[in-house]
Structures are given as structure tokens and as C-alpha cells.
Structure 1
Amino acid sequence: MISEKRCEGCHRYLFGPTYGCNPCGYFIHKSCLDEHKAVVQSFFHPCPLTISAGIFTGYCFVCFQWISSDYFYKCKLSCRFQAHMKCALKPMVEYSDEEYTIQHFTHLHPLKLVDSYQKDEVICSICEELCSSSSSTYGCMECKFFLHKSCMKSIPRQLINHRIHPCTLIFITYPFWYECDCCGERIFSHMSFSCGACDLNLHVKCALFPTIDSEDAKEIQHFSHPQTLALVQNDEEYGSEPRCVACAQICLAPAPTFRCSRSRDHFFLHKSCYVKLPYKSYKLKHPSHPDHPLTIKSLPYNDHIRTCDACFRGIDSTLLAYSCQKSECKFNLHLDCYKLLPSITFSGHQHLLTLIEKTADVTCHLCGVNCHNFVLRCVPCDINIHFQCHPSAPETIKHKSHLHPLTLTNSPFEFELNSDEEEEEFYCDVCEQKRNQRELIYYCTECKFIAEIKCVFSEVLLLLFEDNSFEKKTPKDDVTEVNLEIKKLQVENLLLKHIRSHERLQVLETKMKQLEEESNVEKKEIMRTEGMLGNLVGGSSKWLIKLVENNSQLRGLFNSAKNQGLRIG
């Protein structure tokens, strides 16, 4: 009796020795499996490739043609590489000086030495520089693909511990166009260094650009800026006190400094700050914004004023910041504020509170008074509490700077306000530096000894962490009342967010109607161009394919249009 099930390899009815998985309904003849190796190593991809069988639609990453066979190979690891059986198993041709031919892993066809008269305006696909007559150049005239001999020999198959990305980056050729995650420009050469797990793609030029690790690097690429950065020479003019985008300090010689090679007035980065900045990562989570990852970026110029969601102070457009890439969030953090982590509990609240030393004007949700310094803040819930309003804030401390206990109190004092001296300055008796007379302090009444909170804060934190569960010293009814107030505040915040979101939705719906009208115009234009293409080739897509197959630029345009749904006939 002939089985009704078919082999996934040859699509014929099952007969003879067969492998299969009953739960999945996957079956394949033993002869079909024995015909090909299950795992192979290809000349064109450094990772092992595993065989796949069955109906599949997609492009070969070697020849860029459609895969229509029953079998193909794909990367066994996280890369998106896939190829025809014959392309994956294409044998490597050894380097041959006699024949002036090289088989290189960057291209399907053998590359031949290019005559000097053919080098006019020929660009190397690796370094993207002109192939001058003084350098040896190899190329494929059919595909208009050219490489310097030096670039061909120096390009690696993979990059480990790269400064731009911590994962191993694999060289890969794509049949599609992607945007470089470093410079933001399209990768027209179809070659990139890629991390499949993180969905990251880099221009070969960006990936191989010198980093700060190269002592003699005069130009580098950094993930925080789309353009390359050039080393500022000691004898160059800096301009009007440029500041480093990371530390905000003035860049002065002889401190090594890099600046944007295109926009010399804005982006400056100390060499020392470059080393301290972390790797770019698409999974950089922060407890202040748990829903989405944050990335370091240089904010656009001439844009709306941004504020830090932790301290509410403005973020200078010339500085780097941690930002959420989701347009609806508009969440940003100063580099310093990113380092502040939630660590203080507040009974009845689901999140830890973050201690922020200085903020712009915010209101304490417990006492209703503005707070500028030492605010305990829940960033996700937008709730602020005066340090002194926190039930566990120690009212009295002992500090090595003074013999007597110090008591938490508000400043200024009456004797300070009644001073006859004009513009009298007020000092902290611990650091002996000027202080803001309206800041919270610890004070000895007997000696009139004044200590700023920041000068005794190590002792304050010790006491705060020893007993940050204020139910121990606060009556249960009071705790319930505080919890109820906090919940009311959260309800108020959520209702406000709901109203604002609804208002923004109405604006977006109006824009969507406008976009729908524009979309209909473009759809009509697409149908018109498809009709004109169909008329040119007599309604046959085969003729169109034949017209573009010998021209790499037309073939690339055709493949892109096809991926976007081009229909002929």
C-alpha cells in the first residue's frame, strides 16, 4: 500500500527506509538524507551550515538569486545566512599569481586583476576608496565588484570583542539593503559585519575603522555619533571653549580630544571619556524605565528642549544622554543620572526610590512643598518625596566632625536672615565651603554648628538603610493613610496620562487621515508604474528578469522592488 504522506525532500510518496517525526508530520527518505551532508563548512561563511529541506522562499546569500530547490543550507548558529546547495559547497580556488585570479569569500565569482586603464572611477567595496593606478586591484567585471588587493588580504571573517559591539561580529553578504547601525547610512555594497542575535549590521568600513585602542589612530568611529571622529592636532584652533559631550568639561590641549570630522563646532570627545563609555547594546535596561531598553546617543541639534526624567534638569543638546528609542516615550537620562539606582524602600509602594541630590522644581507629594535637593523619587510613577518627609529619615545623627548630636532642620535661621551685613555668605562648618542658605541641614543648637546634608550623608544613609521600614515607628493607621495618599497620587498621574494620550491620539488620527490620502496617491502611482513596466516587457516577468540579469545595479533595484511586492503580468 502506498503511503499518502510525502517526503519533505523529493516530495514523492513515502517508500522504503524513511525518517520521520509523527507529532510534526515531517518525513524524509533515508536516500534523500544520505545524498547530502547534514552539516558542512562553506568557503563563504565562517559558521557551520546545516541542511534544511522542504518548501522555502528566500534569497541565496551567495549568488543573491531566489532559492527554489527542495534543499538548502542555513547557518547553524544565529546568523541569517542561507544558500543554495551548490553555492554553499562551491570549492575554494587557491590564490594564483600566475593566473592573476583570486577566489575571495566576499564574492561568488573569481576576481581577476584589473588593468590600469580600467580603474577610472572604480571603488573598492571594502574601504570605499578609489582604486588608484598605483595599487593592485581585483574585480568581477560582470558584477562591477572591485577590491584592493591589500583590503582583500586584511579583511577578517569575524571580529571578536569589538569596541562598537560586545558580541562576535560575523562577515556576511546580504541580498538586501540594510542601514548601518553605526553611521545610519544604507549598506549598498551588500557586505557587512553582523550580529544575528542582536540584529546589528555594520558597514565593513565602520566595523574596521580604527578605535581608541590604536595608539596612532588619527580618525576613529564611535557608536555615540554617526560620523567619524578626527583627532584634534595640538596646533589647531578649538574655537570658543568646546566641551566634551561626555563629561561637559572644556576641551583643552594637551588632553587628547576627538571631534566630529564633519561638524567641527559641536561634537568633541575626550580620549579618556571614550574609554569610559560603555558598549552600545540593544538590551541596556534601567529600572527607571523598565519597559524599553536605553541607548547612548547624541541628541539632534535645533530640536525641542529635552529634560532628564530623573532630575528634571535640561539636557544640553551638545551632550550625550541615555534615551529610549520609542518615539512615544521620549524618556531621557543624563549620563550621571543613569548611574543613580533605586535603593530606598517606601512602604506600600511597589518600586524602590532613587535618591537624587539636585533637581529642577518638583513638588513633594507628601507635604506639597517644592523640593530642590535630596529628593527621593520614583521615576516610573513620577512620585517625589522630600528626604525629610520620608518616615525613616533620621532626625538626629552623630558625626565625627562635631562633639554633640546634630538635628535635621530647615534653613535659613532667624539670626542669618536678620544679619546687618549685605550679601553675607553662609558656610558649612564641615567642608568650610559656601552653602545655599535655604537647603536642608543638620544643626547643633548649642554650638550653632551647621552641616550640609551632603557632608554627613554617609552616616545618614547608614541609618536610613538600617531602618527603612517605617511601620516600626509609625502607627499602623498612619501608614494606611500614607499608602492611601500615594495611591491617590498614582491615580491622579494615570488619569492625567490617559487624558494626554487621548489628546495625542486625536491629533495622530487626524494625521493618519491625511497620510491615508497620500497613501492612496502612492498606491495609484505604484499601479501605474507596474502597468508601464508590464507594457515594456509584454506582460512577462521572465523578460524583465532577463533584461536586468547582466547589470548588477538594475538587478539590485529589481530585487528591492520585488521584495516590496512588484507584480508584472
Structure 2
Amino acid sequence: MKKKALSDCDACHEEAKDYSYVCTTCDFWIHKSCALSPSIIPNPTYHHHPLTLVYSIPDIHRYFKQYCGICHKKVYKSYWVYYCHKCTYFVHMKCSTSTVSMGNKDEADDSDNESDLVQFPLPSRESMFDIIVAQCGKLKVDFQGKGENSDTITTIPNDPFIIEKHWSHKKHPLQQLKFTISQNCDDDSDDDNEVLICNGCIQPITVSHPSYYGCIQCDFFLHSFCATKLPQKLPVGASHFHPNHSLLLQMKDKFYDFVVCGVCNYSTNGFYYHCQTCDIYVDIRCAFLPSRIKHKSHNHHSLVQRPFFNSRCSISGLKFTTKNDMAYACESCSNFQIHLKCVFLPSSLEHKYEIHPITLRYPPFFYEGVFYCESCEERVNNQELLYHCTESEHSYHFYCGFWLNTIKLGAGTIKVLIADKPHTLALVLKRSTRKKSACSCSHCSTTFLLPRFFYECDGCGFLACSNCTAKLLGEKQRALL
């Protein structure tokens, strides 16, 4: 029976002033346009494979929320939907007629002379430091000789063998040293301690940049570049994130004192730039991020850094949680953006559980059947970023394979007295081993979902959350994200 629509369509679940087909026995309504939809879209402009009309989301894909590949809004399990089984790709009925072009992801468009843009993802964890060095060099060239700004670029002209009193570590002299492979920890050590970590940029000190300054007494280390070449002041206009005021290079006196970066919203106990007028902090990594980049997941257009414009990252599904969250977005494709945290993910990782390197894969990632993260043993969603080893066929959530290093662990200890018992606390990161894993503070008994930073006593395993640690020290609570 065909009659004027009076209810929501049972196929697309939208009301429309259109004729509908109705089953009076089942009270089933369907728009005429939905009923006449083709069973297959052989050559969609927005996807590489044909799409098949299915009448609900297949059971195997109901473990995760699914989103439309065009509008990025949720696809409900009872909706009719167009589906690519190879890619686990879904498109709403109303979006299926879109003329959006998927572009050519295999060939970059160099028509805008953008071949000199930095290509992300970076090859490895260590590559972020290369970006800092390169972008700082460009800044020096751009502002060289520009009046009062010209003397802000270099802190120490030459690399002396001894720095008697560095502005970031006035307790003891810093001696110039050279990193060697033998300084790596044993293979069984935690991933976060594989190499020395610079107290300034919180990036590894490796053989690619072996010169560094160290205070062995305090376990305080700085890349030679961070110690002598970072600008003490970023002039007005040097930071595209905060161009209206100058920014001063600073560091908190205590390792457990943190600031929250206004760009990535992560806490740091390393170097940062501070706007005294606006009280905005920018950590070193974010201070030297390019304003425009190329990214492998969207290789046909460049991406520009700007505030996010919808709620989710296009490649990871991460939600943007605050109005200040930054993204790299495409100015040509109105619906594509990458969360800033996902930009930092390296393209390849050495993982302690793998013989071969694991590589970063972008959605849609074709994999027949269900697969699980080798680290936390929970299911992996192939519609989100993931790390995968082709040789072993092992996969990892991107957040299980990589931790964004913005806080230096083991940078010092705190001595406190609790119930007349002394404890020496060090900053540690407790990671999740299962979905919604939790850990409790030994002092206040509050349970926290992991991953989470705690202060741990090496002698007895006593754990204190950041709130309790601040109270024990009699100091104001500090942000620790």
C-alpha cells in the first residue's frame, strides 16, 4: 500500500513529505525513494569499492559505534545503510548520493608548490626533535636583523664544555657529554626509559643528536641544542598559535610542578613558552609545530593548524573535549580534520613485544574478521588508527603502542612522612592492561581509570595521586593530565 507519509521511515528513520510504502500488518513505513534505492552502488565518488545496501549493521560490527563515512554522524544498528565489507565502511541512505570526491590518496597534489611542507606522520619518536631544530632554524632566519627581535633567537653563542649556571638548573654546573648506545637500558626495561630523556623538550637523547649536557647528581639532562640554541624569547608574530604577544622560555623549579599546554592540552614538566599578558603556556614541541603540513592520511591536500570545527578526529575518532582543542584541517575538504594528538604519532615503532617494527595504519584498514590488541587484549576497531605488524599479524590500539611524551618520569623524588612512616615518591605512569583498568590511591583510596600518573614509593609500592601528593607537600594542587 502506498500513502502519504505520517511517520518516520523505517529505513532511514527520517520524516519526509513523500509517499511511502506501508505494511498495515507490521506497521512498517518506508519512503518511496528508500524502497527504490539500488541494492549496489557500483562506483561511488567517495569510496574505492562498491557499496552494498544492508538492512542493519552486521552483528560482527556492533561491538563499536559506527559512523557515516560522509557526514561522520552515528549510524544506528537498525538503519538501512550502504556498506563496504572490505573496509567496514558505512554510509547513511541520505548521504549515499553525495558527489563528494575521495580524491587520489596515492598521488600528492603539488600544484600549490607545497612540496617543501613537513610530511607527517614522522618516521620515529626521535623525529620530533628534528622538527624542533629545523623550525627553530627557520625562525632564526625569518627574524634575523629585525631590530629588537634579532637578539632573542640564541641563548648561548657557543657550546662550552661546562655551563656553570644554566637558567633551568642553577644548583650545579652542566657538563657537555656524548650519548652512546651503551647508555640504553636493558631490553626488558620499560619503553619510557629506553633512552635518556631531555628535561627541556621531553624528547629522547639519541645517537642522531648525541651531544647533551648533564648533571649526573640530579639526573638532569638537556640536548645541547635545548641548552644553548632555543630562543629565550619568541617575538611577536613568531608563534602562529599566539601571534599577538611575545613568549618567554621558562621552566618550573620543581619536577612535580606542571603547566598545561594551550595547544595540545597536555601537561608538561619540561620547557615551555609563556605569554605573561594572557597567561598562556605552549610546550616546546607545540611551539615549533609548522602552521601547515602534509599528512599521509590525506595526501592530496595540505592541512592547516586551526581550532577544530566538529566533534571528532577524522582518522582516530578521538573527541575534541574543549573549545580550545587544535586540529590540522583541510581547507578544501570541509569535513576532514586530524586531532593534534594524532599528528604526533610516528609512522613506525619498535615494540618490546615484536621482532619487527609495527606500522601506523589509517582507516579504513582491511582485515577479515575480528582482531585484538596484543597489549591490552581488547578488540581493535579497524575504523580507527591502529598499529599493525604484517609479518606477525599482530595489532595494537594506537594509544597502547605509543604514549605521548610530555612529562619526564624519574626526574626526581619527593620525601614525605605518612603515619610516621617515611616514603620516597617518584613520578610514575600506570598503564591500562584491560579496558577500563583502574588503580587506587593508597592514601585517599580513590580509584582512577588508567592510564594515570601517580607518585610511587620504590621501597613499599605506596601510591599517591596528584591531589594527595599536593596536600602532603602542603602545596596547591597542580594540573596533571
TM-score, with normalisation over the residues of structure 2?
A: 0.29
Q: Which has the higher contact order (CA 8 A, sep 6+)?
A: 2
| Structure with more strand by fraction | 2
The structure carrying a bigger helix percent of its residues is 1
Larger radius of gyration: 1
